[in-house]
Structure 1
Amino acid sequence: MLGLTIEQLSYMLRGTGWTIALSLLGFVGGTLLGLPLALMRSSGSRTARLLSSAFVQIVQGIPLPVIMFVVYFGISIGGYNVPALAAAGLAMTLYSSAYLGEIWKGCIQAVPKTQWEAGECLALTPTQRFVNIILPQAIRIAIPPTVGFMVQIVKNTSYSVVIGFFDLTYSAKVLNNSTFMPFTVFTIAAVLYFAICFPMSMIARRFERRLQRT
């Protein structure tokens, strides 16, 4: 099929599976770290805002492949033999959290101030106002850009090839080196990436259109 054997196609599909696994790891880790960052960026504490802002600026100012190198070899220098999956997952977590934190901070701040004032009029505490009034509205606003960013996470997992992590890009690279059919191999890889990303892009657009109608 397309000049490749069933075994070779299966090899690329295994790489695709690991791409999905790394994407999920990066998104879940980014969510767990990104939400506190968004809250810190939106808090009334100047110290919290400065610390979270410094983290975001540092991570966003460093290319993802460099972050992967630093995590992978930095932990190794400490005497720990870290698996490529763990290093890539940690790097993706740091990268995702910085961007998700900014996305969610913007969504929290996009909730009209009158909603905060309404909660204050009801004599709710700041925590009650945030949990019961602001957060549900912010989540609704955040769904389209969050799903859209998940597409970027999937595509950026390809950078894990720099530390030897076995994903779709790595499997395509190995097959290309053995078959010398770069056009065929990387076209198939592109189709597989598209098959993962396109449904998420459509979901993000659907949510965005729904928000515009309401």
Structure 2
Amino acid sequence: MNHTSAQSLLHPTRCSQPVRRLAFVLLAAVAFSTADVSAQGLQTTRSTEADTPPPSRSRAAPTTLRVISTRSHMQCPLPGKNSRVLSIDSPSEWEDTIEHQDERTALGRKVRWSKERVLVYALDAKPHAGIRLESPSRVIRISQGILYWPVRQVLPETRTEKATVLTRPCVMTTIDRAYWHRIRIVPTRP
């Protein structure tokens, strides 16, 4: 390119329409390739800094959570009389949810809230004693945002007399902290 052509590119009023288009296409190509390289550099930086790979759009593999402790109650410290499933995430939520019992009394241990959560499953109030809930598994599975909690309902033996007293059986389980959006109770056989 001679001196006059370079000046024409710098001063758009002096260059012809095809030369301006060519200059625009060249500048656009350089800008897009620079942006693409920058984006790739950012993506590489993010991937190497992250502890986990970026989420994929395919089906997520099931994850298992460790069951740390479990305790059954014949008279649930959860207020109300209806069946309920919930998770408790913090000491303040514990105080707002569980009546008249601290963690040690209800669970047999102190909860490490930064690493653990508590699951609670309570049945409807029953007019007799003897029904008990257990969480028999050592792990709980999460798949696609659903936590599958295996719970066993143990009925009283048929030969024993049932006491006529209002009870509300429940089970409380401490598990590793994780994310889910729904809990599904999976009945298991005795």
TM-score (norm 1): 0.22
Compare the two structures and name the one with the higher strand fraction. 2
Compare the two structures and name the one with the higher helix fraction. 1
TM-score (norm 2): 0.24
Which of 1 and 2 has greater Rg?
Answer: 2
